[in-house]
Structure 1
Amino acid sequence: MDDKRLRRAGLDYHEYATLQRHADLASCLESLGNPRLFAFTTKGSRPFHDAAFVPGDAFIFGPESRGLPPEVLDALPAEQRLRLPMREGCRSLNLSNTVAVAVYEAWRQNDFK
């Protein structure tokens, strides 16, 4: 993982991150102990702030241009497909902002532990 852009994106936080590449989503989830998985999608019917997050939950986000593939979304119960409410006329936040909002809410719900 020596891509210049990846290093820049991590800034001063590389020491806190453990990076692993997986062949597919199933092997990734298995390596994480098969956590409860939440998908963030503009197609979700449940607002993210209605979910009760617990330590060990995992989040998955798709590319900004097209989101998560249908086979990933269809594999999850509807209550685990979350959306960030948006103002009328706005489609979605960019990916980094969505991740920040989601992770911060999970931390907040768990007293920042």
Structure 2
Amino acid sequence: MTSPSISIVLVHPEIPGNTGAAGRTCVALDMELVLIHPLGFEISDSRVKRSGLDYWQHIRLAEFASWEAFLKARAPRGDQLYLFEEYADRSFYEPDYPADAFLVFGCETKGLPPEIVEAHRAQLVGLPMRSDKVRSLNLANTVTAAAYQAVRRHISL
């Protein structure tokens, strides 16, 4: 088995508790947390660290001023990017995620910016929901579900 180096990418997150919880998931699965600015909070916000509990110091954190700066610095291949959107036609169960995938999530109230979605429409995936009574899932919950699905074939628990 390869050692996964999957990254969780949060584009313009707004709620510090969700970012903290996503960071905790990253520590649990030895993933990197990538934050794309602007953020809806200060990274030093105690609510971020409280949600990450005493794990925050162990987070492999990378920050980029913009999506374009992230693309320039990381130069991801098309098969590395998986953009999570509630209206995606493809289930997140379908891909065989590479060990160096970037799992990309938008902000809590707006999702991913339209220009990012348009540029990467083929990489959209979503979590299936069986009930029509729920519009979307909490960002932190979605990140956790996606992270475990992505590492499923790369690690044994």
User: What band does the TM-score fall into relative to the shorter chain?
Assistant: 0.7 to 0.9
Report how many residues are paired: 112
Match of 2:101 in 1: 57
User: Residues 62 and 112 (structure 1 numbering): CA distance in 2 closer, same or farther, change over 3 Å?
Assistant: farther
Match of 1:31 in 2: 73
Match of 2:126 in 1: 83
Counterpart CA distance in 2 for 1:63 and 1:31 is 21
Tell me the secondary structure at the aligned position of residue 64 of structure 2: coil
Amino acid at match of 1:69: P
Tell me the secondary structure at the aligned position of residue 65 of structure 1: coil
Match of 2:113 in 1: 69
How far does the alpha carbon of each residue in 1:48-79 deviate from its partner, in whole angstroms, 9 at most, with x for none?
A: 0001101111011112222111111111142x
CA contact (8 A) 1:43 1:83 kept: yes
Match of 2:139 in 1: 95
Q: TM-score, normalised by structure 2?
A: 0.64
Counterpart CA distance in 1 for 2:87 and 2:69 is 25
Matched, 1:6 2:48: yes
Counterpart CA distance in 2 for 1:2 and 1:65 is 22
Tell me the secondary structure at the aligned position of residue 20 of structure 1: strand
Amino acid at match of 1:110: H
Residue ranges of structure 2 left out of the alignment (5+ in a row): 1-42
Matched, 1:16 2:58: yes
Match of 2:7 in 1: none
User: Residues 15 and 61 (structure 1 numbering): CA distance in 2 closer, same or farther, change over 3 Å?
Assistant: same
CA contact (8 A) 1:41 1:67 kept: yes
Counterpart CA distance in 2 for 1:73 and 1:112 is 32
Q: Name the Cα RMSD after superposition.
A: 1.9
Percentage identity across paired residues of the two chains: 37
CA contact (8 A) 1:53 1:110 kept: no
TM-aligned CA deviation for residue 29 of structure 1: 3.4
Residue ranges of structure 1 left out of the alignment (5+ in a row): none
